[in-house]
Structure 1
Amino acid sequence: MKRILIVEDDHALASVLCRRLGKHGFDCTHVDNPSDALLQARRILPSHILLDMKLELSNGLSLISPLRQLLPRVTMVLLTGYASIATAVEAIRAGADNYLAKPVDTQTLLAALLPAGQTVAEAEVFDEVAPMNPRRLEWEHLQQVLQANQGNVSATARQLGMHRRTLQRKLLKKPVLE
């Protein structure tokens, strides 16, 4: 059985990831902060690590190097809701094997976690829980565009073709993952 350590501060997302990966033969352990991540990595010696870039009080990029030193052969994937080329390059240079933007579907996630050539049957992949809530998907997209505009709400609203106040209201309403 493949052991995976999921380092994610969004407990709802972590629960969904554990369910999805559990259906594909992964034994999942979830932690929500860097110190627990290092402790659990030493304790369970996972074969795979799924690491969120933005942790509550920390940055997941800073965990890549210590985890890589502890587990040189682990497959490490960095997940982020704030994707950019600069952070992707930084993550790969630090030792991550892959970099994925949230929201991520199960097929893409498995392709990043499994070795090249090893695949999962499509029928098995699409037999998962309901797709992500459209409001959550919209909120994630708004966050990505906002990050690309360095937090400038007016520039983000112009880029998305919406009124600035509408964008601000949508950003304040973080929907729950279902």
Structure 2
Amino acid sequence: MTKELLLVEDDTIFANTVMRRLTKHGFNCLHVDSNSEALLACHRHAPEYILLDMKLAQETTLGIIAPLRKVRPHSRIILLTGFASIATAVDAIKLGADDYLSKPLDTQTLLAALNESKVSTISTDTELEGETLSAEQAQWQYIQQVLKANNGNISATARQLSMHRRTLQRKLQKKPQGDTVKS
């Protein structure tokens, strides 16, 4: 059984590489290179999986995450970027993305993210038990999510977050006060 996947990417060479790899793993891939084409493709083809490159030639895909989520509430949406930052990751998760991956990425990391059930540990309304999360708490939770996706591997997590390994270790030692991490 093939799984329908929509890839929104403006780099044709990268898109072809990703589609070739995913086709070998049972995905039927459709490629578009703009936000408007992505929304149209979601209406016409009903993909189960959506991969979004964050920065397209003239636009960003952050603005279409919420509309895509509305059109395809059960699709798995993953944001891909070569310009990773924790702030952008938190924004993407708040807008409705299920995961956030840094480029370059290997096939196994991508497959793990696609096959994972919704892994977001950041509440989409930034609240846990009636308390609003601080930026530090949201960052802590996102780091924990990425660490869990990397099976506790600090080096792989630091690479994915575009962060020095020691910086990540310091952040992990400084758990924000009043935070309850839910896994």
Fold equivalence (TM over 0.5): yes
| CA offset digits 1:27-84 (Å, max 9, x no partner) | 0000000111111111000000000000111111111000000000000000000000
> Equivalences for 1:108-127 in 2 at 5 Å?
108-116=109-117
Q: Structure 2 CA distance, aligned partners of 1:56 and 1:18? A: 20
2:24 maps to 23
Distance 2:29 2:72 in 1: 17
Q: What residue in structure 1 maps to residue 87 of structure 2?
A: 86
**Counterparts of 1:115 and 1:89 in 2: how far apart (Å)?**
18
- The answer on 1:70 being equivalent to 2:71 is yes
For residues 10 and 106 of structure 2, what CA distance do their matches in structure 1 show?
19
Equivalent residue, structure 1, for 2:152: none
Q: What CA distance in whole angstroms lies between the structure 2 residues aligned with 1:99 and 1:21?
A: 18
Identical-pair percentage: 55
The alignment of Structure 1 onto Structure 2 pairs a total of residues equal to: 119
Give the RMSD, CA atoms, in angstroms: 1.5
Distance 1:29 1:6 in 2: 6
By how many angstroms is 1:115 displaced?
Answer: 3.0
SS at match of 1:3: strand
Q: Give secondary structure in 2 for the equivalent of 1:58.
A: coil
- Give the unaligned 5+ runs of structure 2: 118-158, 164-183
CA distance in 2, matches of 1:48, 1:24: 13
The TM-score with structure 1 as length reference comes to 0.65
Letter aligned with residue 30 of structure 1? H
Structure 1 residues not aligned, in runs of 5+: 117-140, 146-178
Structure 2 SS opposite 1:55: coil
Residue 150 of structure 1 corresponds to which residue in structure 2?
none
Is 1:46 aligned to residue 47 of structure 2? yes
Runs of 4+ in 1 over 4 A off after TM superposition: none
